[in-house]
A and B are shown apart, each in its own frame.
Chain A
Amino acid sequence: MEIIGKVSKGSRMDQIYIPRNRIGLDIGSYAVVRPLEVKRFDEKPYFYNIKFIEPLKLGIVGEIMGAINRMVEDYENIIVTGSFLDKGFNFNDIDVIVVSEKKLDKRKIIREIENKIKIEIHFIVLSSRALIKGLSIDPLYQMMLSKCVSKKRFVYRFKPKMSYKILDLHLLKSKLLIDNFDDLNGNEKYSLIRNVVAISLFLKYKKVNKERVDKEIIKIFNLKSISEIKENMLDKGLFLKKYRVEYRRVFNKLMKGIRNGT
C-alpha cells in the first residue's frame, strides 16, 4: 500500500500525519519515507560538441532538466551551457536557458534548482524568435550554443546578419580592459578579450565557437594557453600593445561597415 502525506512542522520533531483508518502500516511497523517525485525525468539529453562529461555533472544536468520539466508546463527546450561543461570543476555557476514563449517565475525556478543542487544558476528565458535573432547577429549567442546539452534535439537555422552598429556597441564593452587592466580578475579579462575575438571571427563570416575563439586568442596574443589569461598572468605592457592593435582593427572594420550603410 502507498499513502501520500505532507511533512508538517513539529515543536521538537517534524512529522507526517497519515489517516487512522487505513489498511496496513500498523502501529509499530516501519515505513520508508522518501520524497514524492510527481514526474520523473529520465530521458536522455542531447549533447552538442561535448566529447566528455563527468558522470557527476550528468547527474546535475538531469536534476536541472527534471526540475524545470516539473515546474514549467510549456517550453520548447532546456539548454545547459557555459563553463560548467568544460572539463573539471572550475566553474562558478551553471548557465541554463529555457526556450519558451511564456513568462516564467524565474525566481521560483532558480530557488528550487539551487536548493536541490546547491550550485548557483544563471537562468535565462528566451523566446525562440529572440534566440534565432541573437544567433544571427551576435557571436556570443553562437558561442553559447556551440557547446551545450539540451533536452530536445534542436536545429536553429539562421543566416549571419551583420548589424555593425550593434556589434560596435558590444565591442565598446571590451574597451574597458585597456583602462582597468590592473583591477580586473582573470575571468573578467578573458570575457572582454573573447568578446573582441568573437566579433572579429564573426565579421569574417566564420563559425564562432569556444575552441575556435580560444585558438585565435592564443594565436593573436602569442600565449601558451588560455589559462595565462584566466589565472591573471598576462604581461601587461606586452599584452595591451597587441590588444590595442586588435581592438582598433576590429573597430575600423565595423566603422567601414557602418559607413557602407548597415
Chain B
Amino acid sequence: MTALGEFALWIALPIAFWGMVMGFVGGYHKRGELVLSGERSVHVVFILLVLASLGIINAFLTDQFQYWYVAGYSNRDLDTYFKISGLWAGQRGSLVFWAVLVAFFASITVFQNRNRNREFMPYVVGVLQGILGFFLVVLLFAKVNPFEQLGFVPADGQGLNPQLQNYWMTIHPPVLYLGFTAFTIPFAFAMAALLSGRLDSRWIVLTRRWTLLSWFFLTNGVIFGMRWAYEELGWGGYWFWDPVENASLLPWLTATAFLHSVMIQENRGMLKVWNMSLVLLTFLLTIFATFLTRSGLIESVHTFAQNTSIAFIFLVFMGSLFVAAVILIVYRLPALRSENQIESFVSREAAFLLNNLVLLGAAFAILWGTMFPLVSEAFTGQSIAVGPPFFNRVNLPIGLVLLALTGIGPVIAWRRATGRNLTRNFAMPLGVGAAVSIAFISLGVRDGYVLATFGLSAFVLAIVAVEFWKGTQARARIEGEGYATAFIHLVGRNRRRWGGYIVHVGIVLIFTAFAGRAFEVEVRKALNPGETVSVASPFGHVYTLIYEGISSSREQNFDRWVALMTVERNGSPVGSMSTERRFYRVNRQMVTEVGIRSTPMEDLYVILADVEDFDGIVANDPDAQRIVVQVMVNPLVPWIWYGGVIITIGSLIALWPAAEVVRRRRVLAVEEESPEALAGAASA
C-alpha cells in the first residue's frame, strides 16, 4: 500500500501538468476534447493523491520505520489517532495533505460545473492543475519526499513531539488547511475571469460560497490554534504574535476584507480591480503561510527545519504567479473599470472600504513586524526583533475601528447616508455604548482600550438586536405571520445578511474576551499537602485551592505526576482539578499539563511549575510532596470559544443553500430567497 502511494505521487506529477496544458490550450483554442481530458485529469490526480495520503497513513499504522518521515514522527506505543494524524504532523506529510485537499476541492468544482460556467472551466482547470503540479514538484524534487527511506529499519521510531500529542493537534492543522486550500478555488476563478475576459461580478457570485467556506475554516482553524496554545503551551496566554501564528492570520485578514468588498462590487459595480488584487493577495498569503512555516525562514516556536531549496522553489512560484496575475490585471484594466463611484464618506460603501483598508493595514503591519528581523539584517547586518508590544500597539487601535465598523456597516445607508438615517439608526445604540462605558468607569476601570472595547461591543450588540427585532416585526406585519415564524422566514430569506449578523455577534464576543486580559490575576506559591493558595477573581469572589497531594503513574507513552487540588469558591467546595507533569520516555521530554476549570465568565488556570522530588514521589516518599504552582484567573477567556461557536452557527446559516437553488440552478447563485410561483411587475 505504501509503495503504491509513493508510485501514485510520481505519476500524479506528469498528469497534473498534462491537465494544466490541456486546460489552457483547450480553453484558448476552443477544443472541447482537450478540455475534457484536462477535467478528467483533475479527478485522476485527486484519486492519486488520496492513494498517496493513504500510503503515508498506512506506513504510520503499520510502524514502517524504514521511512524517514514515519520514524521521525511516530513510535510503536503511540496512540492510533496520533499515528493517523502523522500525515500532517510534519513538513513532508503536510505538503501531501495540502495537495490532496486542493485536489479534492478541484474535483468537486469540476464536477459541479460540468454543465455550467463553461467559459471559465478550462482556465480554472489549467490554474488548479498548475498549482498541484507545483506542489508535486516540491514534494518530489525539493528533498521533502515523505516516502524517502532511511536505508535501514530502526527498531522503533523517535515518537511524536509531546506538545503535539494533544487532541487539538489532530484538529487544528486540518481545519486551518481546509481554509487555506479552499481559497484556491476563488483564486482559480478569478484568474479564469481574467483569462476569459468575463469580468463582471459573475466570478464573484460563483465563488462566494467557496470564499465563505474558506473563511469559515480559517477562522475556526485560528481559534483552534489559540485553544491549543492555551491548553498546551501552558502560559495562560492564547496568542504570542509568533511568526507562524502571524502567517496564518494574514490570509484571514485579507479574506475577511475580500468577503466584505465583494458586496460592494455586487451592489454597485465598484472596486473590481481591488477585488482582483485581494483574491491574488489572499491566495499568495496562503502559500506564504505554508512557505514561512515550512522553510524555517523566521525562527519561531513553531518553526520546522531549515531547507533552502524549498525556500527557493516557493519564492519562484509566488513570484511568477504574482507577475502573471499583475500582467493579466493590467491587460484587462479597461474591462475592470468601476461603474460607479463613492458618493459620500458617510455611506455603506465607505464603511466597507474603511473596513478593507483597516484590515489590510493590520495585515501589512503584522507582515512588516514579522519580517523585520530579516529585513533589518539584510540591510544593516544587524538583526532587530520586534515583539508583542509592537503588534499590540498597532493592532489595538485597528481592532477598535473594526469593532465600530461591525456595527456601522450593516445599518448605514448605501450611496449617501443622510442625517436622518444616521440619527434614526445610531442614536440609541450609541447611547447604549456610552452607558456601558460609563458603567465600567464607575466600576473603577480606567484603561482606555478596555472601556472603548466594552462600549463598542455594547454598541454593536444593540445594533444587531434592533436589526433582528425590527426585521422580524416588519415581516410579521407585512406577511401577517407570528413573530416566531416571521423570524425564521426572515433569516431564511436572506441567509447571507442575517448569518453575517450572527457572525458579527461572535466576533464581538471574541474582542470583548481580548479586553479581559487587562484583568488577569496571577499568584505563585509553593505548597505542601494540606496547604492552600488563594486568588481573587476580578469579578469579586475568591478561589481557594487546597493542595491534596501528588501521585505518580506509568502510562503507555509517558510517566506522569499528578497534583490534585480541591477548589473552593468563597469558602464552599465546588470541585477539584489537577495539573500534572509528564515525562515522555521515547522523546525524553518533560511536558506540563495545566489544569483549567472553566466557568462562563472566567477560567481558573493552574500550572504545575515545579516538582521538588520526582523520584521521591515514585518511591512514595511522604516528604517528597512539595510543589510550586502558578495560579491564574483568566477573565472572559471562555468567551473566545463561545464566540467561535456563534461564528460557526452564523457561517453555516450564511452558507446553507436554499432548497430551491437546486431547482433554480439556471439563475445566479444569489440564492437568498424562496421563489413564489407568480410573476409580478418589478416597477410601478
* B is bound to A: no
- Give the interface of B toward A (CB within 8 A): none
- Give the interface of A toward B (CB within 8 A): none
